[in-house]
Amino acid sequence: MKEKIKSLIDSVYGNSFLTHQMTQLFSDIEKAKLCISERRKMSWDQQDVVLITYADQIRSEGKKSLPIFTGFFNRWLKESFSHVHLLPFYPWSSDDGFSVVDYHLVEATSGDWQDVADLKRSSNLMFDFVCNHMSAKSEWFSRYLRQEPGFENFFIAVDPDTDLSAVTRPRALPLLTPFTLSDASVRHLWTTFSNDQIDLNFAEPDVLIAMINVLLHYLEQGADYVRLDAVGFMWKVPGTSCIHLPQTHTLIKLFRAIAEEVAPGTVVITETNVPHKDNVAYFGNGHDEAQMVYQFSLPPLVLHAMHSANVETLCQWAQSLMLPSADTTWFNFLASHDGIGLNPLRGILPEDDILQLVEKLQQQGALVNWKNNPDGSRSPYEINVTYMDALSPKSSSDDDRIARFVLAHAVLLSFPGVPAIYIQSILGSRNDYAGVENAGYNRAINRQKYDLDEIEAAMSQAGSLRQRVYHRLARLIVLRREHHAFHPNAKAEFTAINRSVMQITRTTENNQRITGLFNFSDRPQSIHQQYNHARELISDCDLTDCELNLAPWQVMWIQDK
C-alpha cells in the first residue's frame, strides 16, 4: 500500500513533493494506525440505513447539544438507523457548518470529542470532510493574510484579468474575492461558494499533508463513512472547467488508499451534485476511488414522477443504472440539508420539463437557488423545500400528504444501495419560512432546529402529522432492515407496469425475492399478476388473489413464500 500511496502522489506532484514531505506523510499515517484499534465493518448490507442530522439538531437550554441528541437518538431512532451522518460539527462561521474554522475541534456548544465517542457507542458514524474550502475566519487563513512562512501558498491567488469564463459555477456569486494582506497588497482569491469559504490550494504539497492529517484525525475519532464535500472542485486550472479534473480523481484515490491502510472498512463517499454521467465517474474503476457516490438524480426524479403521475422516466433511468463492481454501491437519499439539486436531471429530462417542475413547486411555496452559466445566462440550481412539502400541494389532506411521503420513502428503501434519511423527514417537518426570514438564505427552509421537550411532545401527540409520519417511516425502515432481498447489492429490476405504477423487484443470489409496487397516481390501480404463496409485508397479509388493488399513492412490498 505504501508504494500505491507514493505512486498516486508522484502522478500529481512529481518532483514538487519533496523527500522530507513524503517522510512526514508516512510518519503521520503510521501514527494514526497505532491509534486505531476498532475494527470497522468490512462491507454493507440491508441493515445499513443512515440518519442525516446536525449535531445541534436537538437542543435543551444550558446543555451541550451532542449529548442531548444522543439521548434523543437512543429513545426514538436507534432501532431504525445503523449510522448517523453528523453534518459538519466543527467550529464554523457560515453556511451552517460548511465554512470550517478548525477541522480538528468540535463546536463548543455541541460538545467535544468525548461526546462524539459517546454517540459512537450507539451508532456507526459518518463525518463530513469539507476538503475544498475553509472559513475566512480560520487560523490557517489568518496566517496566510499575515504572510507567515509556510502559509504563503495555502490558498489560490489569481490575477483578476485572467479569463475564467470556462469555470463551472455552482453559485450566482463572484468566483474571486479580494483580500488585503499584511503588507497592504491585495490578492484576489478563489472562492467557489462564498467570500467566507476560501478554496484550499491542493497544488501546494503542504496543503495536501495538512488535509490528510484532517482525514487521519477523523479516522482516529471513529468515522466509519467519510463524505468528501464538494470534492469535484478540489483542483483548479484556469482555462478549464475546474471541475472533475484528473488530479481531483487521483486525490480521491489517494484518500481511499490512506483510509484503507489506516482503518480498513472505511467507506469514502463523494458528494458531487452534477449530471449523472459525471457523478458516476467517481467510482473510478470500481476498486480504486469512491466506494459510494451520492445518487443525486433520485430525489428530483421521484418528485417528477409524483407530480406527473408518470413513472416511465424514473423506471427507464433506474433500469440503466450500472455499478462498476460489487465493491461499489449507491448512497441514496431524497432530502438533505441542501436543496433538491436540478443539475442531476440534466441529460435525463428535457430542460422544459425541468423548468415546468420548478414552476409548479414554486407555486406551491418552494424557493429556488440559481447558478450562473458560462454564456452569461442563469439556470435553476436547486429547489429549496422540505421533501414533505415538495411532494404534495398545499391543499392536500394529511392522509394524502402522508401517503405520498411514505410512497416516496418506500421507493428510496427499495433501491439498490444504502439509503439515507434526513432527520427533518422522519420528524415530519414542513417548510420553515420563519427560518428563511431569520437566516436570510433559502436553504434554511429545511434546516429547522428543535427544543427537546417541544419536539418530543409533538412526536408523542396522538394523531399528529409528526407522530404519524414517524411511526410509518420507522416501521418501513425496520421492515427493510429485516429482509436480505434489500441488500444493497441484491439484483434490482425496474418496470413501469403502466404509466403510473412502478414495480421494483429485488432478488438475492439464493432467489429470495421481494416485489415492490408503487402507485404514483391519485387513482386506484388494478394490477393483474399472479401472486401465489406470497405475503404483503407492510400490511402483514397473505395474498391469495391474482388481482391486486392499489389505492392512490399506495405501496406494497410482496415477498414470495
Domains of the chain (ranges, CATH numbers): 1-291 (3.20.20.80), 491-560 (2.60.40.1180)
**Residue 228 CA neighbour count, 13 Å, CB half:** 30
Lowest mean pLDDT among 157-161, 309-313, 377-381, 537-541: 377-381
- Beta carbons within 8 Å of 39's beta carbon, 6+ residues apart: 264, 265
Q: With bands split at pLDDT 50, 70 and 90, how would you rate the model's confidence at 37?
A: confident
Q: How far apart are CA 31 and CA 22, in angstroms?
A: 14
Q: Is residue 480's pLDDT more than 90?
A: yes
The model's pLDDT over 356-401, given as tens digits with 9 standing for 90+, comes to 999 999 999 999 988 777 777 778 889 999 999 999 999 999 999 9
Mean pLDDT of 461-470: 97
- Beta carbons within 8 Å of 351's beta carbon, 6+ residues apart: none
Mean pLDDT of 5-22: 96
For residue 459, what pLDDT is reported? 96
Mean pLDDT of 511-516: 94
List residues with catalytic annotation. Answer: 229
The model's pLDDT over 203-255, given as tens digits with 9 standing for 90+, comes to 999 999 999 999 999 999 999 999 999 999 999 999 999 999 999 999 999 99
**Sign of the torsion angle spanned by Cα atoms 42, 213, 234, 383:** positive
Angle at 68 between CA 66 and CA 72, to 5 degrees: 115
- C-beta contacts of 66-72 below 8 A and 24+ residues apart: 66/106, 66/110, 66/111, 66/115, 66/116, 66/118, 66/119, 67/111, 67/115, 67/118, 68/452, 69/119, 70/115, 70/118, 70/119, 70/122, 72/452, 72/455, 72/456
User: Quick count: other Cβ atoms within 10 Å of Cβ 482?
Assistant: 11
Mean pLDDT of 521-546: 87
For residue 373, what pLDDT is reported? 73
Mean pLDDT of 555-559: 96
Q: With bands split at pLDDT 50, 70 and 90, how would you rate the model's confidence at 172?
A: confident
Q: Is residue 322's pLDDT more than 80?
A: yes
Average of per-residue pLDDT values in the chain: 95
Mean pLDDT of 520-533: 87
Q: Is residue 556's pLDDT more than 80?
A: yes
- Torsion-angle region of 150 (φ positive above 0: left; ψ -120 to 50: alpha; else: beta): left
- Beta carbons within 8 Å of 76's beta carbon, 6+ residues apart: 456, 459, 470
For the whole model, what pTM was predicted? Answer: 0.96
Helix, strand or coil, per DSSP, at residue 333: strand
At residue 165, φ and ψ (nearest 5 deg) are -65, -20
Q: With bands split at pLDDT 50, 70 and 90, how would you rate the model's confidence at 530?
A: confident
Q: With bands split at pLDDT 50, 70 and 90, how would you rate the model's confidence at 173?
A: confident
Enumerate the β-bridge partners of residue 199. Answer: 133
Q: With bands split at pLDDT 50, 70 and 90, how would you rate the model's confidence at 496?
A: very high
User: Quick count: other Cβ atoms within 10 Å of Cβ 146?
Assistant: 11
Q: What stretches of 263-329 show up as alpha helix (H) in DSSP?
A: 276-279, 298-308, 312-320
For residue 541, give the amino acid letter. Answer: C
Q: Is residue 542's pLDDT more than 80?
A: yes
Q: With bands split at pLDDT 50, 70 and 90, how would you rate the model's confidence at 46?
A: very high
For residue 245 the three cell numbers come to: 479534473
**Residue 369 CA neighbour count, 13 Å, CB half:** 25
Rg over alpha carbons for the chain, rounded to the nearest Å, is 24
For residue 192, what pLDDT is reported? 96
